[in-house]
Homo-oligomer: A and B are copies of this chain.
């Protein structure tokens, strides 16, 4: 059990570090910069912000914590590509939702008993989980930390040079 608590801390510390680095980057990008494309004809910054918010929001049910807080994000920022909708939420709104979602996740992370991190996530059945125990809740955080890094590497391109 001591080992498990230690692993959970390693993974969650990594997550928190990446969230903080992303928030630091976002605080240094103006709303106008977020409206720019990361590269010609590629996703706009605002789409990536909405996408990250939507994916993290869905971690709430995926980790079996609670329902998504802003389910309207998914059709715009996951199911559709950038420019799939002509009207998208304002950057200021998305920034607030992004922070709220991550706070809610962190609050749930802190409340989850260590051993429960090694139970199944919502997209795997009890039966499949017996065969593939690595499909646990902690692994979702591991994977989503990488997803965040992937898009942070892209958002970074919006910075002034």
Q: Which residues of A pack against B, CB within 8 Å?
A: 3-4, 6-7, 9-11, 13-14, 18, 38-42, 133-134, 138-139, 142-143, 145-147, 149-154, 157, 161
Docked pose: A42 CA to B160 CA in angstroms: 11
- Which residue on B lies nearest to A42, using beta carbons? B157
Contact between A146 and B143, CB atoms less than 8 A apart = no
Given A3-B3, A149-B149: A157 in contact with B39 (beta carbons within 8 A): yes
CB-based contact A147/B146 at 8 Å = no
19 other A-B residue contacts (CB within 8 Å) besides A14-B139, A39-B40, A146-B146: A6-B134, A7-B7, A11-B142, A14-B142, A14-B143, A18-B146, A38-B39, A39-B42, A39-B157, A42-B157, A142-B142, A146-B149, A147-B149, A149-B149, A149-B150, A150-B150, A150-B152, A150-B153, A153-B153
Least Cβ–Cβ distance between A76 and chain B, in angstroms: 20
Partner of A9, one of B38, B41, B42, B134: B134
Docked complex Cα distance between A116 and B10 (Å): 16
Q: Which of B6, B139, B143, B154 is the one whose CB lies under 8 Å from A157?
A: B154
CB proximity of A160 to chain B, nearest CB, Å: 11
Closest CB-CB distance, A148 to chain B, in whole Å?
A: 8
**Smallest distance from the beta carbon of A33 to chain B beta carbons, Å?**
13
